[in-house]
Amino acid sequence: MRCANHPEVIRLMGYDAPAMPATCLHNEICPPGDSFAARDYLRSLTEGKTQQCVQEETDTYGRAIVNCTAGALNISCAMIESGHAVPRYAPLDCSEPSPAPETAPDVTVEPSTDPTPQTSPEPPPVTAPADTPARPGTSGLGFGMASFVLLGLLLVNLITWVLFAIDKRRAQAFRSRERIAESTLLGWAMVGGSPAAWFAINRLRHKSAKYSFKQTLLLISGLQIGALIGGIYLWFTG
């Protein structure tokens, strides 16, 4: 979750929810289930409500692990009891609804000659509007942005395929003056169209004998794969 008055991501203690698509590591045990339903249920528990949260510990990524309630409802227990999550990571008592945690800790006041009684200030409650449950190693990249990027890559690859097909047809018709420049084809491959470029080379048999072209395309593809691996690593390591 993210709180309005706490900019860093916080993690609810005591449970694990299904991973969003492509966020479960190959060596990680991720619970089965509908990740979108779990996210929406968490939103229904928290959206528009004021949460009382107490930090219990800090995870390996430096994020606060908190025990949160909305009124008398323990949010972690509600997620488990609804079937949208499973107990994990920390012991959690869900035998009965948990009351909201105290917002003012007990303090010892030293005797004072000041007639005004000394009281400890009461910290403000943590307001936690709902957001997508954070999993270890995930970043703030929204799935709307991921969908936008995916659609953009599909469009780029479609354009790349069409350009290869047009250039192939013009080459067969001996219309050399109307040919598409190799720099243009490689440019579309560089911005994400390299899968379509390789597919066109093998399916259309276009530029398949041009070794200099294929070597440049291979270099572009290698750089893209390296950037993709690096981006995934940074995503999962926060």
Token readout for 106 is 């007990």
**1-137 CATH fold:** OB fold (Dihydrolipoamide Acetyltransferase, E2P) (2.40.50)
Task: Yes or no: say if 49 and 42 are a contact pair by the CB < 8 Å rule.
Answer: no
Report pLDDT for 51. Answer: 81
| One-letter-per-residue 3-state SS of 156-218 | HHHHHHHHHHHHHHHHHCCCHHHCCCHHHHHHHHHHHHHHHHHHHHHHCCCCCCCHHHHHHHH
Q: Output the tens digit of pLDDT for each of the chain's 238 residues.
A: 777 777 777 788 878 888 887 677 667 777 888 888 988 888 888 888 888 888 878 877 777 788 888 877 888 888 888 888 888 777 777 876 544 444 434 434 344 444 444 555 555 555 545 444 544 444 444 557 888 889 999 999 999 999 999 999 998 898 988 999 999 999 999 999 999 999 999 999 988 888 999 999 999 999 999 999 998 888 888 6
Task: Yes or no: say if 193 and 232 are a contact pair by the CB < 8 Å rule.
Answer: no
C-alpha 180/C-alpha 191 separation (Å) is 17
Burial (Cβ within 10 Å: 0-12, 13-18, ≥19) of residue 73: middle
C-alpha 202/C-alpha 84 separation (Å) is 46
* pTM to 2 decimal places: 0.40
Report pLDDT for 69. Answer: 86
Residue intervals of the chain classified under CATH 2.40.50 are 1-137
Report pLDDT for 119. Answer: 53
Kindly list the distances between the CA atom of residue 145 and the CA atoms of 57, 177, 225, in Å, as whole numbers in the listed order.
Answer: 31, 41, 20
Sign of CA dihedral 126, 55, 11, 70: negative
Report pLDDT for 151. Answer: 93
Task: Yes or no: say if 94 and 12 are a contact pair by the CB < 8 Å rule.
Answer: no
